[in-house]
Amino acid sequence: MATPSFAPILDRAPTEIEKPKPITVGSYVTIIQGQARYDKSQKKQTEFVEFTHKFISAGEDVDADALKDSLSAPDGSVRNLADITMKNTFYLTENSVWRLKEFLTHCGFDTDDDSVTLRQMIEDCPGKTVGVYIGHEASQDGTSIFARINKTFAVE
């Protein structure tokens, strides 16, 4: 197996580097990529499960020109929407597990079925199609804007 090389990235001039633009607000169809990741938050040590969404298509509410602009690089090249991935984190507490249940319903699982656990549904998520609404949020220091998944929905 070849060792990854970071030299091409590090050999670039600083003037060639620009912060990526956040993806445009609106609805998108995504597919769950890979297995979910289980971990704990650094600050409060709250357990969570995290999913990776790979973008497939934009909804009618997404401004096509703004989307093209958000996918454009300074050199004029345009990334494919399918190259975009985004994380979606669900904290595993009594007061927030309902969000995970709702997400699993949007992924197509029957969450009224008592014969299967949330963990089993999570393990079966890779390849599931689910819609996401993207919103923009200011960074804590107020110097940047970033995109985040505000909520999910079932894809018809």
Residues 65-118 have pLDDT tens digits of 999 999 988 777 888 999 999 999 999 999 999 999 999 999 999 999 899 999
* Domain 21-153, second-level architecture: Beta Barrel (2.40)
Residues 119-147 have pLDDT tens digits of 999 999 999 999 999 999 998 888 889 99
pLDDT for residue 2 is more than 70: no
> What does each C-alpha distance from 88 to 9, 21, 52, 103 come to in angstroms?
28, 19, 6, 10
Gap between the Cα atoms of 28 and 63, Å rounded: 12
28: nearest Cα among 72, 61, 71: 61
Residues 14-36 have pLDDT tens digits of 887 778 889 999 999 999 999 99
C-beta separation of 47 from 103 below 8 A:
no
Where are the domains positioned within the chain? 21-153
Gap between the Cα atoms of 114 and 106, Å rounded: 17
